[in-house]
Amino acid sequence: MNILEINQLYKRFGDHEVLKGLDMVVPEHSIFGFIGKNGAGKTTTIKIILGLLKADSGSITVCGEKVSYGETKTNRYIGFLPDIPDFYGYMNPLEYLNLCGEITGLSKDIIKAKSEELLELVGLKNDKKKKIRGFSRGMKQRLGIAQALLNEPKLLICDEPTSALDPIGRKEILDILLAAKGKTTIIFSTHILADVERICDYVGVLHDGKLALSGTLSEIRGIYRHDEYMLEFNNETDAAIFEMLEELKQPSIQIERRRNTVKVRLADPNLDGSFLLNILAQKHLVPLKFNVLEPSLESLFIEVVK
């Protein structure tokens, strides 16, 4: 089942067309990495999903129900964490979640139980009675996630939740999102590609108003994979011998050596890793490592947004 479906979404601001027929599908119980350069239209898309911004044309459904501008019926399925969540500093986390629960219409017993459960999930159990004004940026982000999960949403949307955090704070937020995956479906909007590689099942790269890439990381890597291999030898002599072999002196073979490691790229579709392994066996060369190189998300991102 798809929690979110976007079909042919268009949005223009004056002469600037931000979205140009965006199609996007987010499967249930996945973490969907929604990535793109700053200004690509990620936040615009999120605002349209939330019914806060009117699209020029196109349609969006959340849990099978159509999203309408200004009518937030579908928002009962959604939890939202903005990039800079705002709180009442004089409250503590328990008081704040109690207020949010009352606004949502939850009973006092449910609010109390859910608040305790969520504050433990986000690592604020020991800070539940401290004033929010004294919280760090990372603590506020964690409280924001607890608030967004309070009404047990089917879809949690996080807009740049790790962008202003240090490495420890980023790791904490990513761990929380991974833990929340069993409870909900998550859209993780970000430009930090390493975070996407760490926790996301699916990836969508927004570029020029559309998804330039979409699918699982393994599917995307499979499409853009080049036959590249990294061989590490015991010493520089063996690496140099391998580099100079006559069998490798072909226009379709690119070789790059750095000390005792050799990177080989095979552009001929008839050649693959077994070709290199056969040569190694014939020449009685035994590498310490023989790795098939996977394209990184960063290299894929750069390739599609050039």
Q: Domain boundaries in the chain?
A: 2-222, 226-294
Q: Grade residue 276 by pLDDT with cuts at 50, 70 and 90.
A: very high
User: 281: helix, coil or strand?
Assistant: helix
Q: Which architecture does CATH list for 2-222?
A: 3-Layer(aba) Sandwich (3.40)
- What is the DSSP-derived secondary structure letter of residue 132? G
Q: Average pLDDT of 105-117?
A: 90
Q: Which CATH number fits domain 226-294: 2.60.40, 3.40.50, 3.30.70, 1.50.10?
A: 3.30.70
pLDDT band at 103 (very low <50, low <70, confident <90, very high): confident
Query: What's the CA gap between 301 and 306, in Å, rounded?
Result: 9
Element holding 239 (H helix, E strand) = helix 236-243
pTM for the complete prediction?
Answer: 0.80
Q: Percent of the chain having pLDDT more than 90?
A: 66
pLDDT at 72: 80
Residue with tokens 């990620």: 42
pLDDT band for position 45 (50/70/90)? very high
Q: Is the pLDDT of residue 305 over 80?
A: no
pLDDT at 62 (0 to 100) = 96
CA atoms within 13 A on the CB side of 203: 28
The β-bridge relationship of strands 185-190 and 31-35 is parallel
Mean pLDDT of 271-300: 89
CB 26 within 8 A of CB 200: no
Tell me what percent of the chain is helix, strand and coil, each rounded to the nearest 5.
40, 30, 35
Report the candidate in 147, 26, 148, 141 with the shortest Cα–Cα distance to residue 85.
141
